[in-house]
Structures are given as structure tokens and as C-alpha cells.
Amino acid sequence: MVWRTAVSGFGEMRSEALYWDVYLKSWVGSLTRYGEVIDLFFSVYGGPVFEASSEA
């Protein structure tokens, strides 16, 4: 009985760890894509905007 509880508890811990692993990887992946979009935005629009604001 105790062994079965330990095994089920270990299974829950593993599934929870897997969930967090997938969740964190997708979160980091979305942040990375978001950062690439921001870099692209600033490389396209940021240059002229910053040059104009620094001259003013």
C-alpha cells in the first residue's frame, strides 16, 4: 500500500515536472520569438525614429 502510494506520488511528480518543462520551454520560446519581433521592429522603425529624436 505504501509502495503503491509512493509510485503514484512519483508518477504525479514526474508528470508535473514534465508539464513545467514543456510550459517553461514554450514560455521561453515565445519570449525569444517576441524578442526577435522587437529587434526586427527597432531595426526597421527604430533607426529613423531615434535619429530624428536625437537631432531634435
Residue 6: the pLDDT is: 59
Residue 44: the pLDDT is: 80
Residue 28: the pLDDT is: 80
> What's the one-letter identity of residue 33?
R
Summarised one tens digit per residue, pLDDT across range 18-54 is 788 888 888 888 888 888 888 888 788 766 655 666 6
Nearest to 41 by CA among 30, 51, 49: 49
